Chains A and B, each alone.
Chain A
Amino acid sequence: AQSVTQPDIHITVSEGASLELRCNYSYGATPYLFWYVQSPGQGLQLLLKYFSGDTLVQGIKGFEAEFKRSQSSFNLRKPSVHWSDAAEYFCAVGGPQFYFGTGTSLTVIP
């Protein structure tokens, strides 16, 4: 069955520190992988996506993610977090239909 797991419900980091948000997936076919960010009361904004090719993908706002097939993971990283990065982050896998993780809430402390 298709599923996405985001093990960390909530993460707190200091501004300027590095960030890694974890995502593990279960998918029967070649996965198409996405990371979205959601600010309170807003819709979802696409940060980056992986379809094929280079397993390290770059996204907007300085984010990157690495696809590791052997670990069924697609972790999101950022080398230096800004206060404006505080939001909810969702990992999704799928093709015609998406399966979302439960989200990771990021708090950034000054």
Chain B
Amino acid sequence: GAVVSQHPSRVICKSGTSVKIECRSLDFQATTMFWYRQFPKKSLMLMATSNEGSKATYEQGVEKDKFLINHASLTLSTLTVTSAHPEDSSFYICSARLGNYEQYFGPGTRLTVT
């Protein structure tokens, strides 16, 4: 149980285009999901907290107009990287909260912007 999927697993896009990443909780409902970014050989950096039916909460320094988050249902949150640039290339990981304190993580999405 407690499986979280992400799609796509890898994506390459051209600079200036937008790309959408989906995060789904497959066997449980999650009112809260989280989006992280991970740089090579680095820890996870929390980007934003996504709450179903309401606006996401962004961490300091994260551009909300660039990283659009939508949590339209209890099993799906999406992260859209708008007008992507090479510096946005990274590994993006989502998680879904189960209960009050547990998070289950997706397999990650490798974004490469050329």
Contacts and interface: CB of A to CB of B under 8 A. Distances in A.
Interface of A: 32, 36, 41-46, 49, 51, 90, 94-98, 100-103, 105
A46 B49 contact: no
Interface stretch (B13-21, B39-47, B61-69, B71-79): B39-47
A100 B43 contact: yes
A100 to B, nearest CB: 5
- Chain B contact patch, size range: 20 to 34
B43 A103 contact: yes
A90 B106 contact: no
Contacts of A94: 101
- Please name the 7 residue pairs, one residue from A and one from B, whose CB atoms are nearest each other, closest first: A44-B105, A43-B107, A43-B105, A32-B101, A102-B43, A100-B43, A43-B108
Nearest to A98: B103
B100 interface: yes
Contacts of B102: 46, 49
B81 interface: no
A42 B101 contact: no
Given A43-B4, A46-B102, A102-B43, 16 more contacts: A32-B101, A36-B105, A41-B108, A41-B110, A44-B93, A49-B102, A51-B101, A90-B44, A95-B101, A96-B32, A96-B101, A97-B49, A98-B34, A98-B103, A101-B43, A102-B42
Contacts of B58: none
B104 interface: yes
A9 B39 CA distance: 15
